[in-house]
Amino acid sequence: MSKEEDVRSAGKRRRNILYLIERYLRDNGFYDTCECLKNEARLQNDYEICDNVDLDSIYLEYASFYQVKFGKNPKILKKLSPSVKIQVNNTARKCPATSRSKKEESPQKTEPFNESLQIKQISSSASNHETTVNPVEFGIQLNPSDLIIEGWKYLEECVKLTIVNKDLGFRWKDIFGNTKAVETIKEAVIMPLKYPQLFSDKLKPWKSLLLHGPPGGGKTLLARVLCSETQGQITFFNVTSSCVTSKWRGESEKIIKVLFYYAKMHAPAVIFLDEIDALTSGRDRASDHEASKRFKNEFLQLLDGLEDNNTSIFVLASTNIPWDIDPAFLRRFEKKILINLPSNDARYSMIEYYLQNSKTYTVDVMKELTKLSEGFTGDQIRLACKEAAMNQIRNISTQNPQTKQITIEDLRQAFKIIKPIDEKLVQKHTTWNNINGS
C-alpha cells in the first residue's frame, strides 16, 4: 500500500469512528456534546451509520473475539494510580502519587518553607467513581447465574424467545398409537418428576430421543402433548433453525452454547428440535461452509462432551429424513423410534375423535371408513374428516341450515379424495429403523 493510500485509509477510518461516536452520543441523550462534536469535527449530514453497525455491537464483537482467541475477557479500562492532593496556601492541586521516602514525607521537611504544606490521599470512593464503567451503558448486564461470558446478554434474550410458556391444550389421550414413543417420553421426563428416588447415580433417565417417520405421523404432536402435560413443571424450549443460526461469524456457536447453558440453569428442561436434519447434516459434504462445520462440532460437544452431562436436560428431536443426519449426531441420541402409520384400531379411534357426532354412525360405517383410510397418516385422517365437514358447509345453501350431521356419502367422497402416502417412503423408513433404530 502506498503512502497516499495509507493516508486515505487512515482518514476514512477516523471519519467512521467520529460518526459512530456521534450516533452513540445522540442515541444516549448527550445532545449538547453531540452538537459540539459535529461542529468541532465538521461532520456533515451526507453520511449515515448503517443499521447493523453501532458502538455497542462493535464492543461486544471484540469482547467475544478476544474471549475465543485468548480464553479471557479483554481489559478495556484500568484504574489510575492513587492521586494525592497538595495544598499550598489553601490552594489544592491533584498530582499522581510517586514513590518517596519517609524522610521526604515527614513534616520536618516542610518547616523551612513559609507556606503550610499538607499532603492527603484522595478517598478511594472518589477514585473509584472516576474510573468506574457502567455496564448498562455498554449493553452488558453482569449476572453470573445466567450468563457464561460477559457481553452475551443479547444471546440470552434470543434463547428466551424459544421458551413456550402456555398450555397448548393437548393431552396424552389425544394420541392414538405410537405406544413406544409415548412410553419412552414418559420414562425420560414424567417418571423422574414423579419418582426421582427410582433413579440413582448409575441409572439415569433417557437424555435424548429422535423421532422419525413419514410426514404427518404425529411427531410434532408428541412434543405438543409433552409441553402441555408438563406446563409449570419443566422449561420447554421449542428450537428451530432460525433461532440458532446467525449471519454473523461465530455467533451460531454462541447461541447454541447459551441455549444449553440456559436450559441447565432452568432445569428440568426439554429442548425440542423440530426438523433437526437441517442442523445436523453430514459434515463430510463438500458444499458445507466452515461456519456450518464449526456449529455442528459445537453442537456435538454440547450433546455429549467433556463437560458435566446434565441429565435434567432432555433433548427431543424429530425428522422426516433421518438418513441425512450425520452418524455422530445419531450416536448422541440414545433412542431412535419410528413413528409409523397408524394401525386399524388407531385409525378407528382417530376417525371417532375427528368426526362430529361420530356416535350416530353405525359400526359398519366406521369400519368402512377405517378401511378407506388404509395407508393414511394421522394428519391425512384429520384432513379427510375436515374435508367432509367442509363439504357439508358448501352444500348448506341447498340443505336445511339446521342439519349438522355429515352424510355417509360426504365421508366416502372425502376419504377417496385424500391419497395414501407413498409406500416406498414408508418402506424406506422401516428399513432404516431396522438398521439404526433402538
How many Å apart are CA 286 and CA 274, to the nearest integer?
Answer: 25
pLDDT higher at 395 or 179: 179
> Where a domain ends, among 303, 338, 373?
338
User: Same structural domain for residues 232 and 215?
Assistant: yes
203 in any annotated domain: yes
325 phi/psi in degrees, rounded to 5: -80, 140
How many Å apart are CA 266 and CA 146, to the nearest integer?
Answer: 9
Give pLDDT, residue 316.
92
Q: In what order do the strands lie in the sheet with 91-96?
A: 91-96, 83-88, 117-121
121 contacts 97 by C-beta, under 8 angstroms: yes
Please determine, for residue 74, whether its predicted confidence score (pLDDT) is greater than 70. Answer: yes
Give pLDDT, residue 222.
92
Q: What is the mean pLDDT of residues 198-220?
A: 86
Name 272's bridge partners.
Answer: 238, 316
How many Å apart are CA 308 and CA 297, to the nearest integer?
Answer: 17
Give pLDDT, residue 400.
59
- Chain centroid to CA 142: 20
256 contacts 295 by C-beta, under 8 angstroms: yes
436 in any annotated domain: no
284 in any annotated domain: yes
pLDDT digits (tens, 9 = 90+) for 344-368: 888 888 888 888 676 777 888 888 8
User: Same structural domain for residues 171 and 307?
Assistant: yes
Helices (H), 238-289: 241-244, 251-265
What is the number of alpha carbons within 13 Å of residue 237 lying toward its C-beta?
29
383 in any annotated domain: yes
- Chain centroid to CA 154: 11
User: Same structural domain for residues 182 and 297?
Assistant: yes
pLDDT digits (tens, 9 = 90+) for 378-436: 888 888 888 888 877 776 656 555 556 677 887 888 888 888 888 888 899 889 888 88
17 in any annotated domain: yes
144 in any annotated domain: no
Residues of the chain above pLDDT 90, percent: 5
Residue type, 177: G
Lowest mean pLDDT among 19-33, 285-299, 392-406: 392-406
Range of the domain at 119: 83-131
Q: How many domains does the chain have?
A: 4
Of residues 224, 131, 209, the one with CA closest to residue 175: 224
User: Same structural domain for residues 177 and 311?
Assistant: yes
406 contacts 396 by C-beta, under 8 angstroms: no
Of residues 348, 330, 259, the one with CA closest to residue 295: 259
354 in any annotated domain: yes
Peptide bond into 144 cis (omega under 30): no
Give pLDDT, residue 404.
61
User: Same structural domain for residues 320 and 354?
Assistant: no
**Helix (H) and strand (E) counts for the chain?**
18, 8
pLDDT higher at 245 or 116: 245
This prediction's pTM = 0.62
Task: Kindly tell me the sign of the dihedral angle through the C-alpha atoms of 192, 196, 201, 202.
Answer: negative
221 contacts 175 by C-beta, under 8 angstroms: yes
User: Same structural domain for residues 318 and 375?
Assistant: no
How many Å apart are CA 254 and CA 93, to the nearest integer?
Answer: 49
78 in any annotated domain: no
Residue 237: pLDDT band with limits 50, 70, 90: very high
353 contacts 361 by C-beta, under 8 angstroms: no
Cell numbers representing residue 392 in the block: 357439508
Average pLDDT, the chain: 77
User: Same structural domain for residues 401 and 334?
Assistant: no
Angle 375-381-383 from CA coordinates, rounded to 5°: 125
We report the CATH number of the domain holding residue 252 as: 3.40.50.300
User: Same structural domain for residues 269 and 393?
Assistant: no
User: Same structural domain for residues 331 and 352?
Assistant: no
User: Same structural domain for residues 312 and 210?
Assistant: yes
Of residues 421, 345, 415, 346, the one with CA closest to residue 175: 346
> Where a domain ends, among 15, 36, 53?
53
How many Å apart are CA 206 and CA 351, to the nearest integer?
Answer: 33
254 contacts 220 by C-beta, under 8 angstroms: no
Give pLDDT, residue 397.
58
Of residues 316, 419, 424, the one with CA closest to residue 377: 419
User: Same structural domain for residues 200 and 297?
Assistant: yes
Return contacts of 129-133, CB within 8 angstroms, 24+ apart. 130/80, 131/77, 131/78, 131/79, 131/80, 133/76, 133/77
Strands 117-121 and 208-212: unpaired
User: Same structural domain for residues 175 and 306?
Assistant: yes
We report the CATH number of the domain holding residue 384 as: 1.10.8.60
- The length of the chain is 438
> Where a domain ends, among 338, 372, 404?
338
Of residues 110, 65, 66, the one with CA closest to residue 86: 110
